[in-house]
């Protein structure tokens, strides 16, 4: 006899264990049983230092301790603290000429969700690369939208601009609007970035599509959750590419406090909306504010206050920048070392520039990941098209020889 099902039809079948946290749980058990030094835990996307502790920035502690109670205890305004919204725009874009506004969100995830919910109709699809952060799929389902993908890489290993543009063209034909989400820099899960040429080609292609279909809205959202792990000049060049866009081509950026301040529990991010037409920007921010009120009501205040406290203090800004650069170097050197050793060992991997992760492509991700865990106590996350390894969580001394050990199972 079946139990009564109280779920509405659209909510049935949603239960899906998060693979990343599942593997992390198994790694924790193995550490308790065999000792942490005998376990390689490349599962969780949190930056750890070489002692296996959370890599936390002391500038953030200083700023947090300087806050008065009234700066963090009350509700924040629904759209975020005005200082925070101004500071995020100024920090990311500098003197970038296009009108733009930011709104505080519940992490960069909240920024992605609000974009999907408000810029697409029910049943529409948003577009991303076929190597993608798995919660995109859950966001699509929860928002009653769909996910359309294109092959991330060309046969030469570059970013597949033509594939992205083809999907945008298809979206415009089918649903008369398009939302393209590109997760750069330091793409989760491959570690790729766009070259300046690829970013320009993407911009030019989107402009051509927008001009050809002037009544159909197109949105490009850069999901920049790992912003500080790439070179600041490259990031500036990326943003500077997307200026002078037609009115029906909207440029947005999702930003995360979790990675930039190593405060994952603050759950604060930002969505920045940019258009030459200020009326469009203001209408979007107003709509997003109402939408946030109807989902999580308002975003946590403390992360916003800490960000502005640091941004508006030359001393704390300088200290934070040094710490961010040191942590980026630590993580990216682990990645570069692993990739070089993988090449020497004949272990396949996706093109890696910088960041927390890369993918080891295989048609048998679950089987190989299970064998690595059982035989070698190496815990990596099986995904649709391969196995994800998180350099961010691996102490440097565990990187040496790791690719060779893994290659034996491929």
Whether 223 is in a domain gets the answer yes
On whether both 335 and 277 belong to a single domain, the answer is: no
On whether both 24 and 101 belong to a single domain, the answer is: no
Asked if 210 and 246 touch (Cβ cutoff 8 Å), the reply is yes
> Which of residues 311, 329, 352 is at a domain's end?
311
On whether both 18 and 127 belong to a single domain, the answer is: no
> Which of residues 260, 276, 311 is at a domain's end?
311
On whether both 328 and 259 belong to a single domain, the answer is: no
DSSP track, 273-326: EE-S-HHHHHHHHHHHHHHHHTTTSS--HHHHHHHHHHHT-HHHHHHHHHHHHH
Determine the pLDDT at residue 212: 98
Whether 1 is in a domain gets the answer no
On whether both 96 and 122 belong to a single domain, the answer is: yes
Whether 70 is in a domain gets the answer no
Determine the pLDDT at residue 1: 60
On whether both 116 and 196 belong to a single domain, the answer is: yes
Whether 33 is in a domain gets the answer yes
Tell me the C-alpha to C-alpha distance, in Å, between residue 286 and each of 220, 291, 319. Answer: 19, 9, 35
Can you tell me the distance from the alpha carbon of 219 to that of 212, in angstroms, rounded to the nearest whole number? 15
Residue listed under structure tokens 């999901």:
223
CATH of the domain at 331: 3.90.1150.10
> Which of residues 256, 276, 311 is at a domain's end?
311
Range of the domain at 386: 14-57+317-407
pLDDT in tens, the chain (410 residues): 667 889 999 998 888 878 888 998 999 998 899 988 899 999 988 999 999 899 999 999 999 999 999 999 999 999 999 999 999 999 999 988 889 999 999 999 999 999 999 999 999 999 999 999 989 999 999 999 999 999 999 999 999 999 999 999 999 999 999 999 999 999 999 999 999 999 999 999 999 999 999 999 999 999 999 999 999 999 999 999 999 999 999 999 999 999 999 999 999 999 999 999 999 999 999 999 999 999 999 999 999 999 999 999 999 999 999 999 999 999 999 999 999 999 999 999 999 999 999 999 999 999 999 999 999 999 999 998 999 999 999 999 999 999 999 999 99
Structural domain count of the chain: 2
On whether both 85 and 219 belong to a single domain, the answer is: yes
DSSP track, 220-234: EEEEETTGGGS-HHH
Query: What is this structure's pTM?
Result: 0.96
Instruction: Report residue 133 as tokens.
Output: 């952060």
CATH of the domain at 256: 3.40.640.10
pLDDT tens for 333-380 read 999 999 999 999 999 999 999 999 999 999 999 999 999 999 999 999
On whether both 95 and 217 belong to a single domain, the answer is: yes
Can you list the alpha helix ranges (DSSP code H) found in 67-160?
A: 69-72, 82-93, 107-119, 135-142
Whether 280 is in a domain gets the answer yes
On whether both 211 and 351 belong to a single domain, the answer is: no
Look at phi and psi of residue 165 and say left if phi exceeds 0, alpha if psi is from -120 to 50, else beta. Answer: alpha
On whether both 159 and 212 belong to a single domain, the answer is: yes
Can you tell me the distance from the alpha carbon of 159 to that of 2, in angstroms, rounded to the nearest whole number? 49
On whether both 333 and 271 belong to a single domain, the answer is: no
On whether both 246 and 221 belong to a single domain, the answer is: yes
Whether 187 is in a domain gets the answer yes
């Amino acid at each position: 006899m079946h139990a009564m099902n109280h779920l509405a039809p659209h909510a049935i079948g949603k239960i899906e264990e998060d693979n990343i946290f599942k593997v992390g749980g198994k790694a924790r058990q193995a550490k308790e049983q065999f000792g942490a030094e005998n376990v390689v835990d490349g599962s969780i996307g949190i930056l750890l230092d070489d002692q296996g502790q959370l890599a936390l920035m002391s500038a953030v502690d200083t700023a947090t301790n300087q806050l008065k109670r009234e700066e963090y205890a009350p509700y924040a305004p629904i759209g975020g603290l005005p200082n925070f919204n101004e500071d995020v725009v100024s920090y990311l874009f500098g003197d970038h000429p296009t009108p733009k506004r930011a709104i505080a969100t519940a992490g960069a995830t909240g920024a992605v969700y609000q974009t999907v919910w408000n810029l697409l109709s029910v049943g529409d699809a948003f577009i991303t690369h076929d190597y993608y952060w798995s919660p995109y799929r859950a966001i699509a389902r929860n928002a009653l939208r769909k996910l359309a993908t294109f092959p991330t890489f060309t046969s030469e290993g570059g970013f597949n601009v033509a594939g992205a543009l083809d999907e945008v063209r298809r979206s415009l034909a089918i649903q008369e609007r398009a939302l393209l989400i590109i997760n750069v820099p330091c793409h989760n899960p491959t570690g790729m970035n766009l070259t300046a040429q690829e970013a320009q080609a993407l911009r030019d292609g989107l402009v051509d599509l927008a001009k050809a279909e002037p009544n159909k809205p197109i949105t490009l959202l850069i999901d920049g959750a790992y912003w500080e792990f790439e070179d600041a000049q490259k990031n500036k060049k990326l943003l500077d590419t997307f200026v002078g866009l037609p009115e029906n081509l909207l440029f947005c950026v999702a930003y995360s406090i979790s990675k930039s301040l190593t405060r994952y529990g603050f759950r604060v991010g930002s969505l920045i909306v940019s258009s030459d037409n200020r009326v469009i920007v203001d209408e979007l921010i107003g709509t997003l504010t109402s939408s946030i009120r109807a989902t999580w009501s308002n975003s946590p205040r403390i992360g916003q206050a800490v960000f502005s406290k640091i941004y508006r203090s030359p001393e704390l800004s300088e200290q934070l920048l040094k710490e961010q650069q040191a942590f980026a170097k630590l993580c990216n050197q682990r990645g570069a070392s692993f990739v070089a050793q993988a090449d020497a060992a004949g272990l396949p991997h996706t093109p890696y520039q910088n960041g927390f992760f890369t993918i080891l492509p295989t048609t048998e991700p679950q089987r190989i990941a299970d064998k690595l865990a059982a035989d070698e106590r190496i815990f990596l996350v099986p995904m649709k098209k391969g196995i994800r390894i998180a350099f961010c969580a691996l102490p440097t001394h565990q990187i040496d020889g790791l690719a060779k050990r893994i290659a034996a199972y491929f």
